[in-house]
């Protein structure tokens, strides 16, 4: 494909907490060296009882996916939607010659992730980048500095949110929080599942995964 300009138009897909942060930061910081960018708009993926939500975000236009994929002034997609939607949106973006930045996970399986990277490479110049901010810390070094550990608990706690607690929208909690599993792998190495528990209530759910390392910790 042809070489691209260093001035990039960006569209944010999904405007939950993560998407809102991306919109804020994209408007606040608009250049790095000789590369510049601007927010062209956002796509709200939220559907409540099959009605699309209309949002009013200052200095940002609400767009449809069709707008984003067809507009020549949009070069980059930032995907901040539910995990099980990432693959489909990435494919659409790459097929329409868009760079893609996506919150972890890239896809729900490693084989699909490899395929998507291959598609980006075959396009000749498209960037496909995945980010898991949970890994941007010194926890691994701190864990190693403390000596041999025997047992560890990693917790993700949140208040009630209709999308988070709706398995139809986000799938089961161990899928919705696959980034937390990646954090465990980053800190502890290879692990296997030895048990678990899932309890739901009117106010939310509690999901516990019991994992074991290769040296039985």
Other C-beta atoms within 10 Å of 11: how many? 27
Say whether pLDDT at 56 is over 80.
no
Classify 54 as helix, strand or coil: coil
Residue 50 pLDDT class (50, 70, 90 cuts): very low
pLDDT tens readout for residues 85-132 = 899 999 999 999 999 999 878 887 889 989 999 999 998 878 878 776
pLDDT tens readout for residues 122-141 = 988 788 787 766 666 677 77
Residue 178 pLDDT class (50, 70, 90 cuts): low
Please give the Cα distance from 201 to 165 (Å, whole number).
10
Say whether pLDDT at 72 is over 80.
yes
Quote the crossing angle between the two packed helices 110-122 and 86-95, to the nearest 10°.
Answer: 10
pLDDT exceeding 90 applies to what percent of the chain? 25
Say whether pLDDT at 151 is over 80.
no
Residue 9 pLDDT class (50, 70, 90 cuts): very high
**Residue 137: predicted pLDDT:** 66
**Residue 162: predicted pLDDT:** 47
pLDDT exceeding 70 applies to what percent of the chain? 76
Report the mean per-residue pLDDT for the chain. 78
- The domains found in the chain, sorted by start residue, are 7-131 (3.40.50.720), 137-213 (no CATH)
**Residue 101: predicted pLDDT:** 92
Say whether pLDDT at 57 is over 60.
yes
pLDDT-wise least confident of 10-19, 68-77, 207-216: 207-216
DSSP of 80-95: -S-GGGHHHHHHHHHH
**Residue 135: predicted pLDDT:** 65
Residue 174 pLDDT class (50, 70, 90 cuts): low
Per-residue pLDDT, averaged over 46-67, amounts to 71
**Residue 55: predicted pLDDT:** 67
Say whether pLDDT at 167 is over 80.
no
Strand partners, 213: 191
Q: Where would I find the H helices in the chain?
A: 17-28, 65-70, 86-95, 110-122, 139-145, 167-170, 173-176, 178-188
């Amino acid at each position: 494909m042809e070489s691209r300009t260093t001035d990039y138009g960006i569209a944010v897909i999904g405007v939950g907490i993560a998407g809102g942060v991306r919109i804020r930061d994209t408007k606040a910081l608009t250049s790095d060296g000789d590369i510049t960018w601007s927010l062209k708009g956002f796509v709200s993926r939220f559907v409540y009882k099959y009605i699309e939500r209309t949002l009013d975000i200052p200095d940002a236009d609400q767009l449809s996916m069709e707008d984003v994929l067809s507009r020549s002034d949009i070069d980059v997609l930032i995907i901040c939607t539910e995990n099980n939607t990432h693959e489909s949106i990435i494919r659409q973006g790459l097929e329409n010659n868009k760079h893609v930045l996506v919150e972890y996970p890239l896809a729900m399986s490693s084989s699909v992730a490899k395929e998507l990277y291959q598609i980006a490479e075959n396009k000749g110049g498209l960037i496909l980048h995945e980010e898991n901010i949970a890994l941007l810390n010194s926890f691994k070094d701190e864990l190693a500095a403390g000596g041999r550990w025997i047992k560890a608990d990693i917790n993700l706690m949140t208040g009630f949110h209709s999308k988070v607690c709706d398995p139809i929208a986000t799938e089961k909690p161990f899928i919705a929080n696959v980034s937390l599993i990646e954090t465990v792998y980053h800190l502890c190495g290879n692990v296997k599942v030895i048990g678990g528990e899932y309890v739901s209530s009117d106010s939310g759910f509690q999901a516990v995964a019991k994992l074991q390392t290769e040296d039985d910790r």
